[in-house]
Chains A and B, each alone.
Chain A
């Protein structure tokens, strides 16, 4: 238990350092870039300027602003005001978008894991058959076609040609389905490949051959003996997979017009809304860190040989 606590504390420490680094770099950039809140030439709408002046004392020397802004984040979780969206604080924008993006991401990941693992297992067990080749070919497709192209084609097929799903909007399960599938497919493809490779390696292990020789039914052997070993690389892939899903959501939210964090982030980027962009980068960093930590923990639990650093 002590070690676990130690591990978590160390991780938190690293996250704090990383966030601080990101924050500092952002602040420097914000000061350097003209037209942004903390720099000398301010071309902000007066309403925003008023609010920021009240919070961060814009006439103060740079170091003071640095501290104030950081303190604002640490003590109140206050990420300042959006520059382009008047009357909206960054916190509000993030709070609005987060549930949407989070549920989209979760749906996509769950879908990807279920589809990917099943496909991988079937491919491995029926290795060399038509099913295997077909699945792996589709998997390569999933990796080579950018997901926004996939999404567009999907819209073409399933919204216009065969009206199965609505084109945009958010709220019902139907509306989540298509974006989640499009987001999850490339990840599913990669997971399928990983699972297949892991299964093949696991199937050739001695203890599996013994299990088969004992006469255990095929399904039992696969699920109890082969699968656990094969899934390890998939578990460790979940970290990058989350990053991929978060990234992909940027594009898909644009295509499907979903009011999530991603579309706001793109908006912030194209509109040069620096405070909003900063706030979002920090949020995404935290998300990713948390996910990676969970993955590392899961990995250590599954494989007793692994040491937590």
Chain B
């Protein structure tokens, strides 16, 4: 390669590069971010959603009551109140001193004793047996497992931290209780976890399928595109909601469930896949449309003129310009998915107890409304939570769409 005419030496070059870095331009992403920041509702929504995500993640650590602890005798349909509550005080639990901390201490002592006994056994087989029965005992009788359902290891540790910090204190039932005496505040928080995860994961599934499918169809065009889009059109005309319900019908059959579980697929995962499999259609259409129009753009033509390979064109030129619209549709798909989950749960085909989701809560709430007395809190609080989240996602999506508007590109 030729040396520069003006014979710049190393130092001058370095200085030049440094300067160019300092006056580095504002990329379109930064530009869009700036525009988004000026949009107040969108930013408020973003903050709300981030906050919601954090709170949902930290829920096991928060001083909430148990979401599944039923009290059919004393606490059915209590209206919202500030009456103080102690963890583990329900008679039916039979916790020592009616307190969680006490029972926990007692249980841990017992387990420690049994473990010590087990260690003393000589016969390895018997020892293994003994250890197993200890594990079983923990699984069933550990106070945490009586108050919460299927805690993963991380959640388990979080609950331990919570007890260490807050002891037996729990926020009173400011959202009231439901028909089985369960605290609604706790259920809303724990339900958030499930609903949000379903929304995110299913959307991601639809994203992966949709973007690849659409990009391939859009880039190659011709008969490949025609064939792929025909398939999409066909699938579009099937009322997918019904197919999903239909599939859930089959997959809910006891024997089928067992068969699937033997493969390690549980119902929730099927859920994700099925929902994701519905929503990829729109994403693929959107991506394909965008790729098709981008293909005609002159900068893609110039990339071909330079001699760039198709891979290079797709990844360095097309994808970055498609990401914008993908992000917008992401934020608009998540609420659709969450609504759909609520819908399914309402019909009794979604998340099953003892798991909680906002949809399930709404189902309970609607049932509560049908009775004679007005138990408004059972439907209002979960409904408000869902509505606020959906609002936020919609506002954020609208704001993103404005911020990433390609018309602004050539200011």
Q: Are A146 and B343 in contact (CB under 8 A)?
A: yes
B238 within 8 A of partner (CB):
yes
Using known A-B contacts A18-B238, A285-B238, A288-B238, determine if residue A145 contacts B249 with beta carbons closer than 8 Å: no
- Minimum CB–CB distance from B334 to chain A (whole Å) comes to 12
Bound CA–CA A152/B342 (angstroms): 14
Interface size class of A (residues with CB under 8 A): 35 or more
Tally of contact residues, B, Cβ under 8 A = 40
Q: Are A284 and B379 in contact (CB under 8 A)?
A: no
When the two chains form the complex, which single residue of B242, B250, B253, B256 contacts A265, counting CB atoms closer than 8 Å? B242
Q: Are B366 and A274 in contact (CB under 8 A)?
A: no
B252 within 8 A of partner (CB):
yes
Bound CA–CA A146/B335 (angstroms): 11
In B262-310, the 8 Å CB interface with A consists of none
When the two chains form the complex, which single residue of A29, A145, A148 contacts B250, counting CB atoms closer than 8 Å? A29
When the two chains form the complex, which single residue of B233, B234, B370, B391 contacts A140, counting CB atoms closer than 8 Å? B391
B134 within 8 A of partner (CB):
no
Q: Which residues of A contact B376 (CB under 8 A)?
A: 156
- Minimum CB–CB distance from B375 to chain A (whole Å) comes to 11
Which residue from chain B places its CB closest to the CB of A34 in the assembled complex? B255
Using known A-B contacts A288-B238, A289-B237, A292-B237, determine if residue A149 contacts B362 with beta carbons closer than 8 Å: yes
Bound CA–CA A88/B346 (angstroms): 27
In B361-409, the 8 Å CB interface with A consists of 362, 365-366, 369-370, 374, 376, 379, 383, 386-387, 390-391, 394
Bound CA–CA A288/B238 (angstroms): 7
B92 within 8 A of partner (CB):
no
B339 within 8 A of partner (CB):
yes
Q: Are A152 and B365 in contact (CB under 8 A)?
A: yes
A183 within 8 A of partner (CB):
no
Q: Which of A146, A156, A270, A284 has the most CB of B within 10 A?
A: A146
B14 within 8 A of partner (CB):
no
When the two chains form the complex, which single residue of A21, A33, A152, A292 contacts B369, counting CB atoms closer than 8 Å? A152
Bound CA–CA A149/B365 (angstroms): 9
A192 within 8 A of partner (CB):
no
Q: Are B241 and A148 in contact (CB under 8 A)?
A: no
Bound CA–CA A265/B383 (angstroms): 26
Q: Are A247 and B249 in contact (CB under 8 A)?
A: no
When the two chains form the complex, which single residue of B234, B256, B370 contacts A18, counting CB atoms closer than 8 Å? B234
Q: How many A-B residue pairs have CB under 8 A?
A: 127
Bound CA–CA A153/B378 (angstroms): 12
Q: Are B249 and A272 in contact (CB under 8 A)?
A: yes
In A227-281, the 8 Å CB interface with B consists of 243, 246-247, 250-251, 254-255, 265-266, 268-270, 272, 274, 277-278, 280-281
Using known A-B contacts A140-B394, A270-B348, determine if residue A281 contacts B246 with beta carbons closer than 8 Å: yes
B165 within 8 A of partner (CB):
no
Bound CA–CA A292/B234 (angstroms): 11
A223 within 8 A of partner (CB):
no
Q: Which residues of A contact B347 (CB under 8 A)?
A: 250-251, 254, 266, 269-270
Bound CA–CA A149/B349 (angstroms): 17
Bound CA–CA A35/B258 (angstroms): 14
B109 within 8 A of partner (CB):
no
Bound CA–CA A29/B238 (angstroms): 17
Q: Which residues of A contact B245 (CB under 8 A)?
A: 250, 265-266, 269, 277
Q: Which residues of B contact A126 (CB under 8 A)?
A: none
Q: Which residues of A contact B369 (CB under 8 A)?
A: 152, 155-156
Q: Are B383 and A144 in contact (CB under 8 A)?
A: no
11 A-B Cβ contacts within 8 A? A35-B253, A143-B394, A144-B391, A146-B386, A148-B362, A152-B365, A152-B366, A250-B245, A251-B346, A274-B249, A287-B239
Residues of chain B whose beta carbon lies under 8 Å from any beta carbon of chain A: 233-234, 237-239, 241-243, 245-250, 252-253, 255-256, 335, 339, 342-343, 346-349, 362, 365-366, 369-370, 374, 376, 379, 383, 386-387, 390-391, 394
Given contacts A14-B234, A270-B349, A280-B242, 16 further A-B contacts (CB under 8 A): A14-B237, A33-B250, A140-B394, A141-B387, A143-B390, A144-B386, A145-B390, A149-B379, A149-B386, A243-B239, A246-B242, A251-B343, A255-B366, A269-B245, A269-B249, A281-B243
What 5 A-B pairs come out closest when comparing CB atoms? A144-B390, A269-B249, A152-B366, A247-B241, A284-B239
